[in-house]
Structures are given as C-alpha cells and as structure tokens.
Structure 1
Amino acid sequence: MRQHWAIDRKYTGRSVDERFYPKANANLGPHSIFGTYTTLAAKNSLCCYGAASTMALHRVVCRHSSRAWQRLSCSVSVPARPQPPPTLAPARPFSSLMTRLGLARRPRSAPRTMPTTGFDAIAHEQLVEEEDMPEYRAEHFYPVRLGEFFHDRFQTVAKLGYGSSSTIWLARDLQDHQYVALKVYIHNSLQHRELPFYEHLDNVLPSRHPGAKNIRKLLGSFQVAGPHGTHMVLVLQVSQMSIRDMDTVFMNGRGFDEIFVKGAIKELLRGLDFLHSKVQCVHTDVHPGNLLLGADDDSIFQQLEEAEFKNPVPRKQVGDRTIYLSRLMKPKVGPLLLSDFGEARLGPGPHAGDIMPIMYRAPETLLHIQWSYAVDIWSVGLTAWDLLQGRTLFSARKDDGSFSDGVHLAELIAALGPPPQQLLDRHRARALKYWDEQGNWGDFVPIPTEKTLEATETKLNENRTLFLSFIRRALTWDPDARPTARELLRDPWLVI
C-alpha cells in the first residue's frame, strides 16, 4: 500500500481547516531531514502521515482555487457508542525486545478515555478519507474507533492515514510503553505478502548491515473479527510522513534541493543493499511514497495524542461506523525507512509478472522479460529524479490521458537512446509489437525527441553532469548491466 496524504477540504477560501492543518511553509533546503546529512526546519508547520492517494492531497490543496467549498461541519456532541470488544485470533506472536530478553516490564500503562464531544461533525453527503477512494466499500473496512483496544494491549489514539486496502492508526502499546502503528487491512485483502516478507526477515535479523535500520520494522500481527469478516492487523514501527508527501505539502511539488536528495538516495541504497544482499528480496515498489521519515523518539507521537484531547479531529458518522480525518504532525529529524512490502518477492528470481507503478516500470517489465533485483535500481534512478526535479521523468500516457506501454517505451528511447538488440531478443514476440525485425522503432508511436535527459533536467548547474551520469547508470536498459545498490553508493554524484 502506498503512503499518501489524508487531508480533507472543508472551508470556503481555504484548502483545509487551519485549526488542524496550519500552513505548510517549512524551509527544507539547503539541509535535509536525514540526521547525518541535514536538519529539517519546519517552523510553524504540520505534516500528515498518511496512506491515501497523493492525488487526493493535490485535489485538497488545489481545488479550492477553482470553486468555493461551503462549510460542511458543525460543532456537536455525540455520546460514546458502546460496542462489544472485537474477537481476536492471534496471527503472529509478538517479539518485542523486552519480551525476547525476558526483562521484567513495568506495570501496564493506564488506558485513556478519548473525547466524545467538542469535535466538528462532517456533513453526511461529503466523501472523506477512504470513502473517496475508487472501489471503496464500507463493509470491507474494519470500523476502528479512537480509544478502541486491540489484542488487549493496543489503544488507538489517532488516525494516521488510509489507502485502498487498509487504514493506519497511531496506538499506545500499554504493555511495552511505546507507540506503534496499526495497519488494519480490509477483510478481503489479498495483499498479505507483507507478513511472509517480515517472517522471512526475522530469519536474517539482527544484522550489523547499516541498511537494516532503513527497513521499517514489523513488531507483530494479529487478526480481528469485524462485522463483515476477519481483518489482518500488522503492528508496525511508527513513523512520520512519506517523502512524497513532504514534497507535495512543503515544496508544492517543486522537489527538494540536491543535498536533501543525495541524503535520501544514500539511505535508500543502503536499505536496498541490505534487502538484496542479506534478505534476498526484491521490493518492486520503490518510489517516494514508500519512503517514510522515521522518528528517533516518541515525543512527536505524544504531541499527536495530546492534540486529540485539546482539539478532537473532525469526524463523520455513517451508520454504525465513524470516519475520522487523519491527524497532522510537526516533522522532526529521523532516519529514512523503506516501507510497504506488500508487493515484495522473496529470492533473487528470476521472477515474472507485472510489478511496479506504471510510470516507474523498468524495461524488462514492459518487455515481459523475467526480472530480479535490478528493477529496484531502476526505481532508485526515477526516485532521485522525482525528488530533485519535482516531477516524474516518464508519463507513459497518451494524449487522452490513458496509459500506454508504447508511449512509455518511446519516452525511454528519447531519454536514454535505443535499447540494445540483445535485450529485445530476450522476448522477440513482445519486441516485434513495437520494433521491426531489424530493431527499428515503429512509427505508430512517435518518439518525443525533445525529451532528452539534458533537455528535461532544469534545476542543477555545478553537478548537473554528475547527476545525469548517475541517472543513466541507474536507468540502464539492460538489467544485467545495471549497477547494484552497493556499486551505486560509490557513484561520483553521491560521494562528492
């Protein structure tokens, strides 16, 4: 599941209610968020950790300029709605550090009673959060309530975000006295590759590899019985927002400065080197939305919890369920975490089948060739481009807005030159759909010759040549010729 923003439009003349979403005017350059590299200055700004479409955030921030939004909320008091406790079926034993070491724990933390008054009620006809996702069906989602207990251990205190297959919640671990993130899947979700990945990861950890700290940790899992089925719940290391969301909100989609991007890419490559060399896993879904800002301490989450008592988040009552708006948080320095292993593949492969977000797809996937670790390296190149330039390198879209592999391949040729013949020979039937027998590109999709790397790059001066060389290395047509994550870490652009 991709990490996204979860803000909602509510008021005329503003993109968001500033009581909950103050203006995002952080200064992100020339320093970075990744401790060793830089410091994030986010004065008077709040960020949202989320899991909805970034396009949804863009609509929230921008659509108020095209029409005014009427106020859709009123102050109400709603009595607490009693519900029986959920039926729990353990899916995976918890293995916190204290439990593994057999250390005596402090007494359990006392639960808190969450506010049931003082919030704004969102109008019934307004679609918010997960309701606004394509193919949303309420009965697929577990109706999480703020203050609810899970597994006789976790109490939800804030909603962090949502996606097409899950919602994510900040919870207090009353047993181990820490904050965690609960990822509550829809009851019919098939996206449970994440749990097998983490079970495999348990066989590798602990590891002294420096990239191990850049992988988001799973603390445990369990199942909860909802009104319409059983839901898998992952207990994850809690984190702040995604790097994509930082760009969207703080930088207005313009991208970050070079130092910031280099810091992020270095940490990403360390994480991928650990993933590839030690865990032997292909992530397949590397992009800025799955790169999270971690946290070095719990203070930011304590502030988030207290905010719910001082200013309860707006919510919407729909029958017997409540749809909450996700909370924003003020960002702090933390490590980069590679997240979302729902599409990960174990083992080096070769693997087959469609993977990767459409605009991020590597040539071997477009040509229906078997793939391995090198697809993640391709994604690193596109991630570096996105973070620095503030836009994707390839659109893969026809004039009518629909996606097209032919258009995508034509864009690759414009930016990188033609592919080597030996690559096309690995799947002749597929290649002949776009090239003739001599390897000449067909004329049904014109090559946008103006979209070379040199013409498209617009932000760098001094290190421009080194950056473009890095991009060309990561975006090598032939996956067998692409550098590994460890090799790319030594690229001149990253080490100067």
Structure 2
Amino acid sequence: MTRPRSIWRTLSCITRSRPHPPIRSVSTASFINEPIEEELLASDRLDRFHPTSPGQVLDNRFKTIVKLGFGAGSTVWLAENLKFKRWVKSSLPRYVSIKIPALDTDASGELVKSRRISNAQASHDGLSFIRLPIDSFELQGPHGTHLCLVYEPMRETLFHFQRRLPDQRLGPPLFKSYMFMILEALDYLHTHCHLIHTDIKDDNILITIENDKLLADFASHHEKCSQPRHVRAVDGRVTYLSQDDFGSLQGGRLLPKLSDFNLSFPGLPGDKGHLSAIQSHRYRAPEVLLGCPWSYSVDIWNLGLLMWNLLEDVSLFDKPANESGEYDAHIHLAQIVSLLGEPPETLVKRERLYGKARLGRTILNLRGEACGTMNEFWGGPFFDDDGKILRRDLVNEGRKLSDTVTVLTCHEKEAFLDFASGMLQWLPENRKTAKELLEHPFLASCYEGWEPEEEMS
C-alpha cells in the first residue's frame, strides 16, 4: 500500500520543538617539552598525510579555515570556495569540507562508488539521505599525490548529536523519523545501486547543518581565532592553543545522512554471497561471524542493532571480547543466543558446510594465524554434533529482548519489537528488506493521512 509521506513536516516539527543545549568549552594554554601530533600516529605514518594548515589555498580555489576532524586514513578541513560569488551562480557552495586522504589510503574506490550512487536513480527519496562528494581534485604533496573529495559541510556524527540530547537518547518521534530516512537510504542502495554498506553505525551517519548562517558564523570565528594546534616556540617548547565552540545547537531541519562508502561491497547476482570479514564487532551479523556467505541483509541486521543505541543508549552486544580484550565470536554467538534463542538447524548446517569450504587463499586472523576458511578465521567450529553451541556456558537464558526496551510502553513497545524482529533474524533470507520495513506500522506516523487498520494486540 502506497502512502503519501509527510516526513519533512514531521521532522521539522520535532527538531524545532526544543532548542538543544549549547556546547561548552574551557579555554586553556599549556607548554610541554616534547612535540605532540594530534593524530597520535607513528612518525612514519604521519609522512603519508598532507601537511595542511589554515589559510592554505588548495587546487587554486579552496582556502582552508579549520580542521574538522581526522582518522587513521585522512583529515577533513572546512574551506571557503574562492570562486563563489553571491551574484554568480556557483556549482559549489561557499563553504565546503575537504577530505584529504593519506597516501596509503585509496580514495578512488569511494569516488567510483559515489558516482554509481549518484547516477543510479536520482528521483529516489533515499538519495536525499546519503552523503556523497560534490567534487574532487588531486593535491600534490611533499611525498606524492592525494585524491581529495569535496563535500557539503555537515554538523556532526549522529553519535555526537545524540550526546547533546536529553538523556542522550533520540525521543520516539525523532527516532522513528530517522529510522524512516535511513531505511529510505538503504532501500536506494540495495535496490538501485546494488551496494552493501557493511559498516552502518552512528559514527557513519552525519547530521546536516540547519542553516547557512551557522556555518558562516563558524567560519568567521575560526578565521579570527585559530583552532588548537601545536606551535613550536623559540626555546623548543610547544604551545597548545585552544578554541571556543561556535555557539549553541539550535533547532532546525537536522537530517541524517548515511556516509562513508569506502568499505561497501557490490551485491552479487542470484543467491551468491561474499566470504570476508566485515562490520564493527558489536554489529556483526551471525552469518558473518560463522564464516558463511553474506549479502544485503547484513545491513538490515546492523541497523536493527543500532536502534538500541539510538533509542535506549545501550548496545545489545557490547564488547563481545575475551579476557585479553580481543573480539571473540564464541562470546558474541552466545550473546545472540541469549536474546534470540537457539539458531535454526538450517544455519547450523550452513556453518558446517562452509567450515569445510576453502577460500583458495590463506588469510590471517586477528591473532596473526593463517586460515583457509572464514569459519576458521573467526575461531570455528561453533556447534557440537547435536547442533548446540560449543560455549553453552556463556549463554544467559534469563535475558529477553523485550526486557531491553524501557522507553516505549504498551502497543508502541509491541510494535517496535515486531519491527525489530523483521531485522534481527538468524537466517539472512528471513530478514525483511528496507522497502518492506518502510511499510511497517511502527513507522505509520511518518506517513500523512494514514492510520493503522488495527492496533497490535
């Protein structure tokens, strides 16, 4: 049943209903005896990063203002588009964010996938909730050429946005709206782009900036007051200068956008699946940790788990690690059994089958051991001759999934659990698609003029 959507009106009312608390910071300055690098990487890795600083002009058109962030493979800068004029139509906005990859980080794959996403079906609603580069250029550095990606600036990750909300949780109306939009993005990725994201988490969902004035004020502030950075003094000491935050988070149209497609995989034709290690530990799907083939539905499982982080500010499977702090698939499997019950016989047979399926190559597991199957990579086998998990001692049989939902009650809680059950299925083929989940009654408030036929009992 097709329902006219009112998601924009719903979200606008939600985000404007209450101003968010201001960001606080403390101004400090200190001297230290040894140089410190913000990236905290080994010196040989730092040589692979481009030595960017505020005020540089990149590609003869982008003047850097402030570093927005960094990771193990890139830095991200806010820059002014020098070709932007109010009275001339510009293909790029006045302010952009520029991702400058390290030399050992290949951004070409992400650029190719982004073009694929942009061109698949521009009219699909889900494209509005995906963050893609709007330009790219090559930047010559001291040690090589960096392929830079240009984006529209975003406010922050969903993780940091959530930290600013009351109780550090998304209220049910906002939660439903965000789930609706992320599912729209996944529907587009899966059905039209034929891509599997493989790494859906709150750090890979960004929040839009609600108006240009906030961005202009932020840029103006940093043009006058440099961000914290290391300044080598005459006597060899280092001064660490601080910055003031650029103001408060005011309400507005704050939309989530799924980002970071560097780790995405193409969907395979037919019923074929990939055999490789993917996903963050706590979000890893059962078929992946058992060493079985996986496909689009790993994203659905992944999003299903993320819902608890957003709604309850908890992780269903937090730190599935052994005493040494290493990820342990046996512990993770026992945690899943504790909440969802025993896996079906079909999955047990599948694990046994692929426990013998050689990869045709040798790969190293997390402990540096050579493995010939993905089942061996994760520490398999996982089941005994009777189809029961080997580490039965790790199962907590008193825990129920319904016990983990505290912010919803009565019919709304039942609707949510039914919604989640379509995502958290042992067998990947039993999980609902993003398109099917969009039609679930739990998201009924995201549609205009539609009311459920009957309440769930």
Aligned pair partner of 2:266 in 340, 346, 351 = 346
- The alignment status of 1:211 with 2:95, answered yes or no, reads no
Cα distance, 1:164–1:217 mapped onto 2, change above 3 Å: same
Q: CA deviation at 1:210?
A: 0.9
- The alignment status of 1:308 with 2:216, answered yes or no, reads no
Letter in 2 for 1:146: P
Pairs within 5 Å for 1:91-490: 123=32, 125=34, 127=36, 129-131=38-40, 137-175=45-83, 176=90, 177-190=93-106, 192-205=108-121, 207-251=122-166, 254-317=168-231, 328-329=245-246, 330-331=248-249, 332-348=252-268, 350-395=273-318, 396-428=320-352, 429=355, 430=375, 433-443=381-391, 445-462=393-410, 463-490=412-439
Question: SS in structure 2 opposite 1:223?
Answer: strand
Letter in 1 for 2:12: G
Cα distance, 1:408–1:43 mapped onto 2, change above 3 Å: closer
Alpha-carbon contact 2:330-2:391 (below 8 Å) kept: no
Q: CA deviation at 1:334?
A: 2.5
Question: SS in structure 2 opposite 1:35?
Answer: helix
Aligned equivalents of 1:154, 1:124: Cα separation in 2: 35
Per-residue CA distance 1:3-24 (angstroms, 9 max, x = gap): xxxxxxxxxxxxxxxxxxxxxx
Note the residue ranges of structure 1 that are not aligned, 5 or more in a row.
1-31, 48-60, 62-68, 75-121
Number of aligned residues:
394
Aligned equivalents of 2:293, 2:387: Cα separation in 1: 20
Letter in 1 for 2:132: K
Note the residue ranges of structure 2 that are not aligned, 5 or more in a row.
1-8, 84-89, 356-374, 446-457
Question: SS in structure 1 opposite 2:170?
Answer: coil
Cα distance, 1:150–1:388 mapped onto 2, change above 3 Å: same
Aligned equivalents of 1:255, 1:293: Cα separation in 2: 15
- Aligned position for 1:41: 18
Q: CA deviation at 1:147?
A: 1.3
Per-residue CA distance 1:131-154 (angstroms, 9 max, x = gap): 2x6898321211111111111111
TM-score, normalization by structure 2: 0.78
Q: CA deviation at 1:270?
A: 0.6
Cα distance, 1:309–1:171 mapped onto 2, change above 3 Å: closer
TM-score, normalization by structure 1: 0.72
Pairs within 5 Å for 1:15-94: 34-35=11-12, 37-39=14-16, 41-43=18-20, 45-46=22-23, 73=29
Q: CA deviation at 1:178?
A: 2.0
Cα distance, 1:465–1:202 mapped onto 2, change above 3 Å: closer
Letter in 2 for 1:311: C
Aligned equivalents of 2:136, 2:241: Cα separation in 1: 23
Alpha-carbon contact 1:416-1:453 (below 8 Å) kept: yes
Q: CA deviation at 1:333?
A: 2.7
Alpha-carbon contact 1:283-1:344 (below 8 Å) kept: yes
Q: CA deviation at 1:162?
A: 1.2
Cα distance, 1:180–1:325 mapped onto 2, change above 3 Å: farther
Question: SS in structure 2 opposite 1:240?
Answer: strand
Question: SS in structure 1 opposite 2:409?
Answer: coil
Question: SS in structure 1 opposite 2:311?
Answer: helix
Q: CA RMSD in A?
A: 3.1
Cα distance, 1:326–1:235 mapped onto 2, change above 3 Å: farther
Aligned equivalents of 2:288, 2:258: Cα separation in 1: 22
- Aligned position for 1:3: none
Letter in 2 for 1:229: G
Cα distance, 1:341–1:458 mapped onto 2, change above 3 Å: same
Cα distance, 1:217–1:379 mapped onto 2, change above 3 Å: same
Aligned equivalents of 2:160, 2:414: Cα separation in 1: 28
Letter in 1 for 2:57: F
Aligned equivalents of 2:80, 2:17: Cα separation in 1: 26
Letter in 2 for 1:459: V
Q: CA deviation at 1:454?
A: 2.1
Letter in 1 for 2:406: T
Q: CA deviation at 1:229?
A: 2.7
